[in-house]
Amino acid sequence: MPSELTSLEPTFADAIQAITAAGGVSAQNRRHWSSSLTGIAKAFDQPIELIPARYSAVRVRMAALHHVPLGWAAKTLANHRSNAKAALIWFTKETDALHYGIPLSPSWDRLRLQTDHGTRYRLLPLMRFCSGVQIEPETVNEAVIDLNTAVTQSTTALDPTTVIHIGVKIYSGYGCTTPYANAGVPVVLNIDSFTD
């Protein structure tokens, strides 16, 4: 596993690079889109290399921004939001990027299909992360959970305690309490373990 945090999917930096090189986009749009993505990254107080270049990944965070703490006029923030949205939607279409992040590996997809909606909702970020770094469900341990939490904290605006409480610990080697046991993978899902 990498010791340095990097994104597992295209980032704002990739989107800016693609926009700058795009021949089918007007010079004015290239300028506005690049500037707005950089501005939104500054508003998030994160480097452009860590922010996922998916509108679905940043929509809520952009909506939560307020112009006063940023020292911007309300119209400036509205323009940055609009331009960033247009840029990210263009980038997703242009590069055939996934709308919802990293695709699940076959083993994680089987687990996803066999979990209830609430568990699935809580597990999907971990499932996508593990799929991206090629970690199978049966090999997840505390180190993987810690790394996933660190990556989540570095790429979102969530409070670290929130990241922990919506997370799921997966323990290996204890037998199964989920329908995934039928697939022969020794995994126990314990959603409540973070609330102790």
What confidence tens digit (pLDDT) does each residue in 19-32 have?
999 888 999 999 99
100 domain-assigned: no
The C-alpha atoms of residue 3 and residue 176 are separated, in whole angstroms, by 31
The C-alpha atoms of residue 144 and residue 147 are separated, in whole angstroms, by 5
The C-alpha atoms of residue 164 and residue 28 are separated, in whole angstroms, by 43
Same domain, 71 and 125: no
Per-residue confidence (pLDDT) for residue 143, from 0 to 100: 81
DSSP string, 37-100: HHHHHHHHTS-TTTSBS-HHHHHHHHHH--HHHHT--HHHHHHHHHHHHHHHHHHHHHHT--TT
Q: Residue 170 contacts by C-beta under 8 Å, 6 or more apart in sequence? A: 126, 137, 140, 145, 187, 188, 189, 190
Same domain, 77 and 127: no
Per-position b or e across 56-81, b if 16+ CB within 10 A of its CB: ebbeebbeebeeeeeebeeeebebbb
Is the pLDDT higher at 132 or at 5?
132
pTM over 0.75: no
128 domain-assigned: yes
Same domain, 63 and 111: no
Domain boundary among 95, 127, 160: 95
The C-alpha atoms of residue 111 and residue 155 are separated, in whole angstroms, by 25
132 domain-assigned: yes
User: Residue 65 sits in which domain range?
Assistant: 12-95
124 domain-assigned: yes
28 domain-assigned: yes
* Residue that the structure tokens 């500037």 belong to: 35
Same domain, 82 and 24: yes
Same domain, 68 and 110: no
Cβ atoms of 104 and 112 closer than 8 Å: yes
Same domain, 133 and 167: yes
Tens of pLDDT along 76-135?
A: 999 999 999 999 999 988 765 555 667 788 888 888 888 787 777 777 778 877 887 788
Tens of pLDDT along 136-193?
A: 888 887 788 777 777 776 666 665 445 444 444 433 333 334 333 333 333 444 434 4
Per-residue confidence (pLDDT) for residue 98, from 0 to 100: 57
Structure tokens that stand for 181 in this block: 């046991």
Structure tokens that stand for 33 in this block: 């889109």
Same domain, 114 and 91: no
75 domain-assigned: yes
The C-alpha atoms of residue 2 and residue 129 are separated, in whole angstroms, by 13
Same domain, 81 and 127: no
Same domain, 79 and 134: no
78 domain-assigned: yes
Same domain, 32 and 80: yes
Same domain, 110 and 91: no
Helices and strands, number each (H, E), in the chain: 9, 2
Tens of pLDDT along 42-87?
A: 999 989 998 888 888 888 889 999 999 999 999 999 999 999 999 9
114 domain-assigned: yes
Number of domains in the chain: 2
Nearest to 34 by CA among 86, 96, 94, 103: 86
Same domain, 26 and 91: yes
